[in-house]
Amino acid sequence: DVKVTQSSRYLVKRTGEKVFLECVQDMDHENMFWYRQDPGLGLRLIYFSYDVKMKEKGDIPEGYSVSREKKERFSLILESASTNQTSMYLCASSSIQGVKLREQYFGPGTRLTVT
Amino acid sequence: RKEVEQDPGPFNVPEGATVAFNCTYSNSASQSFFWYRQDCRKEPKLLMSVYSSGNEDGRFTAQLNRASQYISLLIRDSKLSDSATYLCVVTFYGGSQGNLIFGKGTKLSVKP
């Protein structure tokens, strides 16, 4: 079974703090993704990575950065947390078949509250 | 802009009912299609892929209509445990590998 783990299920941080969210997958997947999910807005892609040290912006990258130093690990960084970054953060990974993205597997999510 | 649209629901149905969801997509160069299920406060989980010829998994049937650019999910004999939000996912060919879009989901509530 594919396993995607995230470092924390719940996190409470103060405005202005630097926040690290870690994601690890054990299936040697090329692609990893960070999303946030808010009521009524669905899943929104923040960043994704298709290889080690490679990253691309998603739909809402502002206020976030990412790091992928090893294939199995993809980190999301909030440089200076703000209250509008309170959300559920979901990490996902997937493999590719030729040029086709295969299905994604999600971690359990981190519910971040910024006060 | 590439869009994936779903009826948000909620669909409230009695146990044993048959319920169908549709999902429309805007880009004709779409490659792969999936249905995910998301329980309240949990992560999305793959329910099934959608193949061109249609496919079935127990009580669930998925179909693809490329001409009209939609995919559908049919659930027969609904169970209480089917209550969840169902998300459709479409991937698009070319460009970056971030060409994957989730619909906002359709909420299903199965009542006794």
Q: Closest Cα partner for B45 from B86, B76, B7, B80?
A: B86
Q: How confident is the model at residue A100 (pLDDT cuts 50, 70, 90)?
A: confident
What is the arithmetic mean of pLDDT over B41-60?
Answer: 94
Share of chain B above pLDDT 70, in %: 93
pLDDT band (50, 70, 90) for residue A35:
very high
Query: Measured between CB atoms, does A43 come within 8 Å of chain B?
Result: yes
Q: Are A60 and A45 in contact (CB under 8 A)?
A: yes
> Across-strand partners of B90?
B33, B101
More confident residue, B26 or A23: A23
Q: How far apart are the CA of B102 and the nearest CA of chain A, in angstroms?
A: 7
Mean pLDDT of A41-46: 91
- What gap in Å lies between CA A26 and CA A112, rounded to an integer? 24
List the single best residue of B33, B43, B47 to mutate versus A (max A Cβ within 10 A): B43
Whether residue B99 lies within 8 A of chain A, CB to CB, comes out as yes
Using the Cα atoms of residue A49, residue A54, residue A56 and residue A60 in order, give the sign of their dihedral.
Answer: positive
Q: Which residues of A touch B42 (CB under 8 A)?
A: 108-109
Calpha distance B97→B65 (Å, rounded): 24
Q: Is the CB of B100 less than 8 angstroms away from the CB of A101?
A: yes
pLDDT tens for each residue of B46-55:
999 998 899 9
Q: What is the average per-residue pLDDT within A91-95?
A: 93
| Cβ within 8 Å, pair B105-A42 | yes
pLDDT digits (tens, 9 = 90+) for A101-114: 788 999 999 999 99
Residue with tokens 């995230």: A6
SS3 B97: coil
Q: Does B68 touch chain A (CB under 8 A)?
A: no
Separation of alpha carbons A108 and B98, rounded Å: 21
Query: What is the pLDDT at residue A102?
Result: 82
Residue-wise pLDDT for A60-86, tens only, equals 999 999 999 999 999 999 999 999 999
Q: B44 touching A, CB under 8 A?
A: yes
Percent of all residues in chain B with a pLDDT value above 90, rounded to a whole number: 71
Question: Which of the pair, B31 or B54, is modelled with greater confidence?
Answer: B54
Query: The sheet that has B19-25: what strands, in order across it?
Result: B4-6, B19-25, B70-75, B60-65, B55-57
> Which of B34, B87, B97 is the best residue to mutate to test the A interface, defined by the most A CB atoms within 10 Å of its own CB?
B97
Does A96 sit within 8 Å of B97, measured CB to CB?
A: yes
Distances A112 to A17, A36, A42, A102, B2 between C-alpha atoms, Å: 12, 10, 16, 28, 29
What's the confidence (pLDDT) of residue B22? Answer: 94
- Say which residue, B91 or A34, is predicted with more confidence: A34
Task: Identify the closest residue of chain A to B44 by CA–CA distance.
Answer: A106
pLDDT digits (tens, 9 = 90+) for B74-112: 999 999 999 999 999 998 765 455 578 899 999 999 999
pLDDT score at A48: 92
Return the exposure string of A95-108: e unless at least 16 CB atoms fall within 10 Å of the residue's CB, then b. Answer: beeeeebbbbbbbe
Here the contacts of B51-58 (C-beta below 8 Å, separation 24 or greater) are none
CA of A47: which chain B residue's CA is closest? B98
Please state the rounded mean pLDDT for residues B40-48.
94
- For residue A40, pLDDT over 90 is answered with no
Are B18 and B29 in contact, with CB atoms under 8 Å apart? no
Using DSSP bridges, classify how beta strands B100-102 and A10-13 pair: parallel, antiparallel or unpaired: unpaired
The answer to whether the CB of B23 falls within 8 A of the CB of B88 is yes
Q: How confident is the model at residue B1 (pLDDT cuts 50, 70, 90)?
A: low
| Residue B103 forms contact with A (CB below 8 Å) | yes
